[in-house]
Structure 1
Amino acid sequence: MATIHPYLNFMGNTEEVFNFYKSVFGGEFVNVTRFSDMPGMAANLPEAEKNQIMHIALPINKDVMLMGTDALESQGHKAVNGTAISLAITPDSKEDGERLFNALSAGGSVEVPYDKAPWGAWFGMFNDKYGIKWMVNFDEK
């Protein structure tokens, strides 16, 4: 079976965002590549974009890698946060779900507080402080 890894695009603050996610999930980056690491590409970029993140990867567990990049305005790229996608987390316990919910939602906006849901799971939904929509769902069954 194929594995799907979320790949997030940001407008120049990918490093800040991923350091925040690292503080929540722990672990170490397995890759941090800047546009300046790609000589052919960097030569055509404005100085302000050369140090931005071309690719970053943070393992969440043995099966899931959270990855990202900075969208380059000089290349016509634009990252728009919105409601087209949500990242769903299935924690190992109710308590772990509460910890992840509280840590990731800090500074963001909570849409549904982490609480017992009608389908029997512990669930919460929020936008983190970087505009990414998350759902936490722990099913006790």
Structure 2
Amino acid sequence: MQIQPYVFFDGRCEDALRFYADTLGAEVLFKMQYKDAPPETNRPADPKSDDKVMHASVRIGESIVMMSDDCMSPQVIHSGFSLSVTADSLAEGEKLFNALAEGGKVNMPWQATFWSKGFGMLTDQFGVHWMVTIPDGA
């Protein structure tokens, strides 16, 4: 069994895919736009949605994260969860933290804590909450 996060974006999934490729080395494994769905499916009637992302599977490190523009919902809100990234070193953790924080909001600055030599929390420019840490002893 696997648990894979599915993150929705309010019409900015393409931007998010590029941002996560640049900051996290994300690799798009599969991407489908709404216009690619068969006409008999329950897709949005608004032609402006045709080029939006209906579904994408993205590899980030060893994990798969799924993403979509979610043109079926009136509003996307990211609440009650964070995506957690464990970097291999203190320097890599700080670099990832700073890159993800660009254009977003730092909720807890990158710093040493009693459980890790490097940890920080942020909300990125797409409203997704992140925690970045390094493993104990790194």
TM-score (norm 1): 0.87
Displacement of 1:139 in angstroms is: 2.8
Aligned to 1:59: 59
Aligned to 2:45: 45
Displacement of 1:54 in angstroms is: 0.5
**What pairs with 1:96-135 in structure 2 (closer than 5 Å)?**
96-135=92-131
Work out the CA distance in 2 between the residues paired with 1:26 and 1:53: 19
Displacement of 1:76 in angstroms is: 4.3
- Aligned-residue Cα RMSD (Å) equals 1.8
Aligned to 1:81: 78
Contact 2:20-2:26 at 8 Å conserved across structures: no
Pair 1:43–1:80, CA change in 2 (3 A): closer
DSSP-derived class of the 1:111 partner: strand
Q: What 5-or-longer segments of structure 1 have no aligned partner? A: none
DSSP-derived class of the 2:58 partner: strand
User: In the comparison of the two structures, how many residue pairs are matched?
Assistant: 136
Aligned to 1:14: 13
Displacement of 1:43 in angstroms is: 7.0
Which structure shows the higher helix fraction? 1
In structure 1, give the amino acid aligned to 2:25. G
Aligned to 2:90: 94
Of residues 34-43 and 96-105 in structure 1, the stretch that sits farther from structure 2 once superposed is 34-43
Identity of aligned residues (%): 31
Displacement of 1:58 in angstroms is: 1.6
